[in-house]
Amino acid sequence: MYLDYNATTPIAPSVALKIINSLKNEWGNPSSKYPVAEIALKSITYSRMHLSKMIGANLDDIIFTSGGTEVPIANNMAILGALDYFKDWEQNCNTFVKGKPHIITTNVEHDATILPIRHLERKGLIECSVVAVSSDGCICPEEILAQIRPLTCLITVMMANNETGVIMPVAVIGRHIKDINRRRKLEGLIEILYHSDAAQAIGKIPVDVLDLQVDYLTIVGHKFYGPRVGCLYARGAGKATPVYPLLFGGAQERGFRPGTENTPMIAGLGEAARLVCENLDSYYSHMLQMRDYLEEQLKHELGESHVIFNCHGKTVMRLPNTCNVSVVGVGLTGQEILSRCKHIMASTGAACHAQDKPSEIEMLFEHADDEMAPSVLAIILEYPLILQYTMH
């Protein structure tokens, strides 16, 4: 039984069919002008339409990227682009504020976000403030805002955490940034760009970029039963919000991400987005029901004194599919517990994090110490459509 759906998801049946059909029939180069190319371009446009509908965006706000590690190109485009944005502002500003560009983030971001920031910091190109979440796993908006400096050019906060399932107050922060930017513009200061990695939120909770007030949003296909490609939402890409390409070589995606489009994978991504648009309510209720049942059964089978559910604060909102639990008083680590469950595939933390020591997130919990943190299990549940999928 697979219970690690925040690490990756299998391809949904209709997504697989869409990809296969595209491989067979949409093989033309979308940049060409003859019929087979127009078929491929039409497929990409349909996918762009479904993705924009899924997050409440405009068609031109969606920039497709490739997959795997390049899905973080969406993150990299926002983070590294902030450096170019600062340089452009610095050349044209009339203020006497001097220094390095400043970026604010949290201590629980995915490596796809934090490592590009650390890279820039090590090279002496930026200054960075990393704000710690509280023991309930949530970031305090006031603590983020308190770090703002005259040269702050980017704030990036994940929408939901992959290990704890905690949903961050991205919209609250976004509304404050919008107000702050009005004042900064009048003062001649650089306006702050706002980015959120929504990889774990898509397909589980509603995601609306207008409500979130973000300039950039990262979408990752393999987290919601799509292929390993993704896209970056950029509000008014290249106009209202600056977008700087990381690669050069063609006019695809309006030059923001050059290279001949991977039509079959983009088609699959669009189909996964269509499923979310049509089924999000049923997905949510199904996952929530399963998670609540799982937590009740864990208490019943192991005893309430042996289980501590992490990030269950009264004011904390969680993803409906994520259960982060510490098993205490049994003398076993999470890895040892899982090794005795021969038919369960689950995790003790993020798939991208080294498993030889507790993650920073695991050490946040009030009861955690070097001995207890390894007892954490992250149990991640599935959509109802995959129940059907696994029966075939």
CA separation for the pair 349, 360 (Å, rounded): 10
Q: CA separation (Å) from 374 to 158, 337, 354?
A: 24, 10, 12
- Written as six digits, the tokens of 114 are 């934090």
d(C-alpha 364, C-alpha 348), whole Å: 14
Mutual angle of helices 263-302 and 384-391, in 10-degree steps: 100
End-to-end CA distance of the chain: 15
Query: Distance of CA 151 to CAs 193, 271, 275, Å?
Result: 12, 41, 41
The tokens for 362 are: 């695991």
113: DSSP letter: H
Q: Look at strands 62-65 and 230-234 and give their pairing.
A: antiparallel
Choosing from 93, 277, 341, 352, the catalytic residue is 352
User: Does residue 352 carry a catalytic annotation?
Assistant: yes
Angstrom distances, CA of residue 148 to CA of 84, 140, 282: 19, 14, 40
- Please say whether the beta carbons of 234 and 286 come within 8 A: no
CA distance 65 to 262: 9
- C-beta of residue 157 within 8 angstroms of C-beta of residue 144: yes
Strand partners, 230: 65, 220
Q: What residues act catalytically?
A: 352
